[in-house]
Structure formats: C-alpha cells, structure tokens
Amino acid sequence: MSVTLGHPVPDFTAQATNNTTVSLVGLKGRKVILFFYPKDNTPGCTSEGQSFRDSFSDFVDSDTLIYGVSKDSLKSHENFKAKHDFPFELISDPDEELCKIFDVIKLKKMYGKEYMGIERSTFLIDSDGILQHEWRKVRIKNHVADVLQASQMVDTEAVEEESNSGLEN
C-alpha cells in the first residue's frame, strides 16, 4: 500500500525524537511535511536538515509541522538533532514501515555497488490528511523554498475554495 496524490494518507504511528510518538490521526488539523533522507550525519542529509531548520519559522507561520524520517535509530537521531539544533522531530523507521507507505525504498548505486536505500523524498499532507504534493529524487538546492511555497499555496487554495463555495451560479 503506497500513497497517491490527492488521496488520504493511511494512518501511521512511529517513534520520534524527544520521546514522542507521531501518528497521522493525531496531526489532523495541521499540515505536515515528511522529508525522507538516507542517513544521519551525511553531507546531503545534514544540508537538507539545516535548510529545513533555517526556514522553520516560515513553516510555523504557515501552520505546517516538519518531520524528518530515516531508518536510523532514535539514539542516532537524537545526536543528529542536537548537533545541528533541529527544531523539529526526527522519526526512526528501522523496519521501513513508513518508507513502504511512501514508497521511498529504491535501488541505489554507490561506488559501483547496488543496494536498497531511501530515495530522498518529501511529502506535503494537508490538514485533512490528504497528500497534496510529493517531491521525489530531491535535489537539495532550492528544495525547501519550493516545499514552503507549496505549503503556503495549500492555505491559499483552501481559502479560495471556501470563498467560492458561497458563490451563486
């Protein structure tokens, strides 16, 4: 079972940093960004996390929660989060349950070897639990700005739909 744009995201429950349990049902009413990344403390993953950190207040202003997701342990996540002052929680998915829901485990190649790993991907879920946007095979440059803009547009589209629903034909 994997997610489809424009459809509800299946509920999930996962362990995250700061001794928190994250479930989609518990997040209803808020927009959610899930950014999947391969591994804590690697250059690309660190850069991506820092970009989300640096734009965190803009996401807060847009009433959007951010969660990073990888297969790393909670202990690794806690260290990664503390080292880079991430203001958002990191979800540990060692059994790839969330990874499977979002279909981010892909065949990868590095140094001539093939292996299965997380493809850098980001997902925007609206306040009703509907998948509104997905970014796959993410390139980090300008990515967070694109995600923020999409998050803000979800607000605009919802307001326009509400205001248009009162129009008479």
Rounded Cα distance, 73 and 94, in Å: 7
The answer to whether residues 58 and 90 touch, using CB atoms and an 8 Å cutoff, is no
Residue 76 burial (CB count, 10 A): 17
The answer to whether residues 133 and 150 touch, using CB atoms and an 8 Å cutoff, is yes
Catalytic residue among 3, 45, 69, 125: 45
Catalytic: 99? no
Burial of 50 (0-12, 13-18, 19+ CB in 10 A): middle
The residue ranges of DSSP E strands in 9-60, in sequence order, are 13-16, 20-23, 31-36
Task: Kindly list the distances between the CA atom of residue 35 and the CA atoms of 58, 65, 104, in Å, as whole numbers in the listed order.
Answer: 16, 11, 10
Residue the block writes with tokens 């591994």? 39
The residues annotated with a catalytic role in the active site are 45
